[in-house]
């Protein structure tokens, strides 16, 4: 029997892709995604003839005879079961998510089946699921992507350059306002250089954030699929969406109300007796990012020289130019 007629687009949940990248299971995971997509279009039984399975792994991933056998063996017991009657029983998305320790998934990406051919292209494709499919997104540093996927920054740059699965839309800058002295601004800029801080004229302090990137080769998937899987995983604890309560002096918000609420908190102003005084601008400012255009941010800097907090305002811009408040 010939190879299966695989769907043109395959559905990939980003969180499952991250787990596969960290475990270096890109080939096995991609094979599971491809065969599961075909099974869903057919009858959803979860059973595939072994010969059809092997032929389709070769078709989807562009691998040879020995490689497809190795992939079939590597995924046995984790992504599928090789039965004694010559069939392969696929595991469900819920079973794979629980085995990989994924407690909640976001909206899936629809990726062309041809993008999974070749080891490097597969890796670049799965890594790009960390980004949105349109030009609106949040600033993500190479360090954040490494924490999500386990792919080192140098490898990220190489994959982006060679395969263009993740493309930069625009850099993001934040202005923290004038400091108490030029020396103080220069000192903070030098201390936080590795995190993007730098100083400018007029005692100004800035921070270069992670770029906003997009996954142009991907399409946005169905939110219903994510809700269905999350209902199945409902017993798992939902991960935190902000760092408040874990790292109280540094948080990221998406909404004016959240920022205003944070700024009213005693900890955010560095007041005496707050229990968590702000001691460094690197740890103590908040950002707002939402719809296109200039973004407002609020931050406060506690001067180490004067011993008092300073509230400043500014803007985040999606372009390379920096606008002073």
Distance of CA 38 to the CA centre of its chain: 27
Mean pLDDT, consecutive 10-residue segments, the chain of 325 residues? 73 96 95 91 85 89 92 93 88 93 94 94 96 87 92 95 92 84 91 86 87 93 92 65 36 42 49 41 44 40 31 36 35
**Which two tokens mark 82?**
């090789």
State the pLDDT at residue 172.
83
State the pLDDT at residue 52.
87
Query: pLDDT tens-digit profile of 113-135?
Result: 999 999 999 999 999 999 999 88
**Which two tokens mark 176?**
């923290």
Alpha-carbon distance of 7 to 140, in angstroms, equals 31
Alpha-carbon distance of 36 to 45, in angstroms, equals 10
SS (H, E, C) the chain: CCCCCCCCEEEECHHHHHHHHHCCCHHHHHHHHHHHHHHHHHCCCCEEEHHHHHHHHHHHHCCCHHHHHHHHHHCECCCEEECCCCEEEECCHHHHHHHCCCCCCCCCEEEEHHHHCCHHHHHHHHHHHHCECCCCCCCCCHHHHHHHHCCCHHHHHHHHHHHCCCEEEEEEEEEEEECCCHHHHHHHHHHCHHHCEEEECCCEEEEEEEEEEECCCEEECCHHHHHHHHHHCCCCCCCCCCCCCCCCCCCCECCHHHHHHHHHCHHHHCCCCCCCCCCCHHHCEECECCCCCCEEEEEEEECCCCCCEEEEEEEEECCCCCCCC
For the chain, state the CA radius of gyration: 24
State the pLDDT at residue 4.
63
Alpha-carbon distance of 219 to 110, in angstroms, equals 5
Contact 159/151 with Cβ under 8 angstroms?
A: yes
Torsion 36-38-44-45 (CA) sign: negative
State the pLDDT at residue 173.
81
* Strand stretches in the chain, DSSP E: 9-12, 47-49, 80-82, 87-90, 109-112, 167-178, 197-200, 204-214, 218-220, 285-286, 295-302, 309-317
**Mean pLDDT for the chain overall:** 76
Q: In what order do the strands lie in the sheet with 87-90?
A: 47-49, 87-90, 80-82
State the pLDDT at residue 69.
93
Residue that is written with structure tokens 């979860």 in the block: 46
State the pLDDT at residue 15.
95
Alpha-carbon distance of 106 to 108, in angstroms, equals 6
State the pLDDT at residue 116.
95
State the pLDDT at residue 277.
37
Residues 273/297/140/212 CA torsion (nearest 10 deg): 180
* Strand stretches in 144-258, DSSP E: 167-178, 197-200, 204-214, 218-220
| Dihedral pair phi/psi, residue 38, rounded to 5° | -65, -40
Contact 122/27 with Cβ under 8 angstroms?
A: yes
């Amino acid at each position: 029997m010939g190879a299966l007629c695989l769907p043109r687009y395959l559905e990939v949940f980003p969180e499952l892709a991250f787990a596969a990248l960290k475990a270096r299971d890109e080939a096995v995971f991609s094979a599971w995604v491809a065969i599961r997509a075909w099974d869903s279009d057919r009858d959803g039984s979860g059973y595939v003839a072994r010969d059809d399975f092997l032929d389709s792994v070769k078709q989807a991933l562009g691998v040879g005879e020995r490689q497809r056998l190795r992939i079939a063996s590597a995924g046995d017991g984790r992504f599928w079961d090789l039965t004694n009657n010559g069939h392969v029983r696929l595991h469900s998305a819920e079973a794979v998510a629980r085995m990989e320790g994924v407690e909640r998934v976001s909206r899936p990406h629809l990726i062309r089946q041809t993008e999974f051919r070749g080891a490097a292209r597969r890796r670049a494709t799965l890594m790009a699921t960390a980004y949105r499919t349109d030009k609106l997104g949040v600033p993500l540093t190479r360090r954040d992507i490494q924490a999500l996927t386990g792919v080192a920054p140098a490898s990220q740059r190489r994959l982006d350059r060679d395969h263009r699965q993740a493309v930069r839309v625009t850099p993001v800058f934040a202005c923290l306002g004038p400091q108490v002295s030029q020396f103080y601004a220069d000192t903070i800029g030098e201390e936080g250089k590795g995190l993007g801080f730098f100083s400018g004229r007029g005692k100004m302090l800035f921070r270069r954030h992670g770029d906003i990137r997009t996954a142009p080769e991907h399409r946005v998937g169905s939110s219903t699929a994510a809700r269905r899987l999350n209902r199945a995983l409902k017993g798992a604890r939902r991960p935190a969406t902000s760092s408040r309560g874990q790292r109280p002096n540094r948080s990221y918000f998406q909404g004016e109300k959240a920022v205003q609420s944070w700024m009213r908190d005693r900890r955010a102003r560095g007041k005496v007796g707050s229990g968590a005084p702000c001691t460094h601008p690197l740890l103590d400012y908040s950002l707002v990012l939402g719809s296109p255009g200039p973004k407002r941010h609020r931050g406060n800097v506690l001067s180490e020289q004067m011993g008092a907090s300073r509230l400043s305002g500014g803007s985040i811009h999606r372009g390379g130019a920096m606008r002073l408040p």
